[in-house]
Structure 1
Amino acid sequence: MASGTVTSSEYISHHLTNLTFGSHPEHGLGFAKTAVEAAEMGFWAINVDTMLWSIGLGVLFTWLFSKVAKSVTAGVPGNTQNFVETLIEFVEDNVSSIFHHKNALIAPLALTIFVWIFLMNTMDLIPVDWIPYIAGQMGIHFMKVVPTTDINATMGMALSVFGLILYYSIKMKGLGGFLGELAFQPLGKWMLPFNLFLEIVGLLAKPISLALRLFGNMYAGEMIFILIALLPFWIQWVLSVPWAIFHILVITLQAFIFMVLTIVYMAMAHEEH
């Protein structure tokens, strides 16, 4: 697909452009047909492919785990039940070692984050031309299948976690306690402006670091797959297979890091001091 009339820059640009729906200043409401149109649609445009794949994978996760939960047996478990139980035990071990408070939300939240992000990241292992080619045959101009290579998706998840951090910080410490923590820590009341600056920067850094870490690593991995796809066919297999094997570690590690940091931040929100 990178040969013929399509240049390398056009090929890369095409694979990095989302299927965007929004209002264009000149062409009105509709789907963007070029990367430039997608950029010009502005903030309120929606990346349809990101929503489609992220929600679809979320439904797959919910369906699979609920199916296993309804058919669970006390005897020798099947492969699927054994896999799900292993995941749950893995998440529970991490939660119990980090979060030392009582909150029934944390373990399910951590499990959802880990499995959902892992599924979205795993889409990066599908050859970069397969699904866009099928979409192109259906008249769909763009199709990015890895939701975590879209900063809107990773920032959305990070802001959701940030909202929970604020909610539980205020719930556990009270509004006065939360504001006092921002104003009087770590240097006391006489350094209130400096304390506020340090604490607010540290607070805002949490969602930004969560979103950018996941996005940056997955975007870079996707870019390498695209660059490999520009090479001659026989070289692609030599490079893509080792990179895909290594990338399995990356996609798992990024899901794990997002989960662990969420648990850590929620534990900090529950601390009295």
Structure 2
Amino acid sequence: MSDGSSHGSQGQEAHGNYIEHHITNWTFGDGFWAINLDTMIMSILSGLLIILLGKYIQKGITEGVPSGLQNGMEMIVEFVNKNVTDNFPGHNPIIAPMALTVFLWIFLMNFFDIIPVDLIPGMVESLGADNFRAVATADLNVPMGMAIVVFGTVVFYSLKVKGSEFLMEFVTHPFGKWLFPVNFIMKLVEELAKPLSLGLRLFGNLFAGELIYLLIAFMVPWWLHWVGGLPWTIFHVLVIVLQAFIFMVLTIVYMAMAVTSEH
């Protein structure tokens, strides 16, 4: 019994060490100023790939019926423009490019989650890295960083378009000026909920997806990974697209709220 118990505990320890290793970032520095190098590399790489893809498609643009990558990109642009038209009143030249950037960037960072969990980390760690996480959106810093940038833009446009009316919402909305302490607290919570809802939703879904892949990779022999991983991958493709879509739509909606009067 003791041998079996010891063997089982060793297996659990190995399991825990495997998962811990894969969810630990490659970090430079300590404390608050530490930088997750793997997150920086993958997020910047994703952004560069989008820019290069755009440049490539731009050079090959042809008149008439588009084909290949041009057709796919045009479908994405039309899809984003339709969501902007449906959710944003009037016209603002920053909204569609912002929404398109958010959608493509998040989708590509999410996409690395369906690549075999040991492939990219194994390649980078063989070059000397201590750890490497390939999914930047599974690191809380990226979703919250993007959410804070969106929130800052929302506040900027709220002040630019509505001015003092936006500040008065903290005093008079929703119960009138005589209950301004309650109004202030409720409005503050409402505003702070915007970046939290954006960032934590994206982080939670991608971190959970990463953990499931790690469980499959550890519990199933490598030559059967496709059996356990394929059904989850098919489902997870929907998740990574949906999370990019939700972040994009909420960005448009929050920007619409910034330029629309409460009353």
Same fold (TM over 0.5): yes
Aligned mate of 2:28, from 16, 21, 33: 21
Aligned mate of 2:251, from 230, 240, 262: 262
Per the alignment, residue 137 of structure 2 pairs with: 148
- In structure 1, the residue corresponding to 2:219 is in which secondary structure? coil
Per the alignment, residue 17 of structure 2 pairs with: 10
In 1, distance between residues paired with 2:151 and 2:36? 22
CA-to-aligned-CA distance 1:5-32 (integer Å, 9 cap, x gap): x81111100000011000xxxxxxxxxx
Deviation at 1:101, TM superposition (A): 2.0
Per the alignment, residue 186 of structure 2 pairs with: 198
Instruction: Please say if residues 101 and 267 of structure 1, whose CA atoms lie closer than 8 Å, have aligned partners that are also in contact.
Output: no
Aligned mate of 2:173, from 182, 185, 192: 185
- In structure 1, the residue corresponding to 2:28 is in which secondary structure? strand
1:75-114 equivalences in 2 (<5 Å): 75-114=64-103
Report whether the alignment pairs 1:117 with 2:124.
Answer: no
Per the alignment, residue 61 of structure 1 pairs with: 50
Q: CA RMSD in A?
A: 1.5
Per the alignment, residue 247 of structure 1 pairs with: 236
Per the alignment, residue 216 of structure 2 pairs with: 228
Deviation at 1:183, TM superposition (A): 1.1
Deviation at 1:148, TM superposition (A): 0.2
Aligned mate of 2:122, from 133, 144, 148: 133
Letter aligned with residue 213 of structure 1:
R
- In structure 1, the residue corresponding to 2:261 is in which secondary structure? coil
Deviation at 1:177, TM superposition (A): 1.3
In 2, distance between residues paired with 1:64 and 1:254? 22
Aligned mate of 1:51, from 25, 40, 45: 40
User: What TM-score results when the alignment is normalised by the length of structure 2?
Assistant: 0.92
Range 144-153 or range 234-243, more displaced: 234-243
Letter aligned with residue 12 of structure 1:
I
Instruction: Please say if residues 172 and 272 of structure 1, whose CA atoms lie closer than 8 Å, have aligned partners that are also in contact.
Output: no
Deviation at 1:239, TM superposition (A): 1.4
Is the helix fraction higher in 1 or 2? 2
- In structure 2, the residue corresponding to 1:230 is in which secondary structure? helix
- In structure 2, the residue corresponding to 1:216 is in which secondary structure? helix
CA-to-aligned-CA distance 1:224-268 (integer Å, 9 cap, x gap): 000001113155332111001110000000000000000000000
Instruction: Please say if residues 57 and 119 of structure 1, whose CA atoms lie closer than 8 Å, have aligned partners that are also in contact.
Output: yes
Instruction: Please say if residues 216 and 228 of structure 2, whose CA atoms lie closer than 8 Å, have aligned partners that are also in contact.
Output: yes
Letter aligned with residue 125 of structure 2:
G
Deviation at 1:43, TM superposition (A): 1.5
Instruction: Please say if residues 42 and 135 of structure 2, whose CA atoms lie closer than 8 Å, have aligned partners that are also in contact.
Output: yes
Per the alignment, residue 7 of structure 2 pairs with: none
In 1, distance between residues paired with 2:26 and 2:15? 20
Letter aligned with residue 120 of structure 1:
M
- In structure 2, the residue corresponding to 1:43 is in which secondary structure? helix
Range 235-244 or range 64-73, more displaced: 64-73
Per the alignment, residue 153 of structure 2 pairs with: 164
Letter aligned with residue 27 of structure 2:
T
Query: Following superposition, which runs of at least 4 residues in structure 1 exceed 3 angstroms of deviation?
Result: none
In 2, distance between residues paired with 1:251 and 1:168? 29
In 2, distance between residues paired with 1:82 and 1:145? 29
CA-to-aligned-CA distance 1:199-218 (integer Å, 9 cap, x gap): 00000010011000000000
- In structure 2, the residue corresponding to 1:7 is in which secondary structure? helix
Structure 1 residue ranges without an equivalent (≥5)? 23-40
In 1, distance between residues paired with 2:211 and 2:42? 19
Letter aligned with residue 199 of structure 2:
A
User: What TM-score results when the alignment is normalised by the length of structure 1?
Assistant: 0.89
In 2, distance between residues paired with 1:81 and 1:193? 54
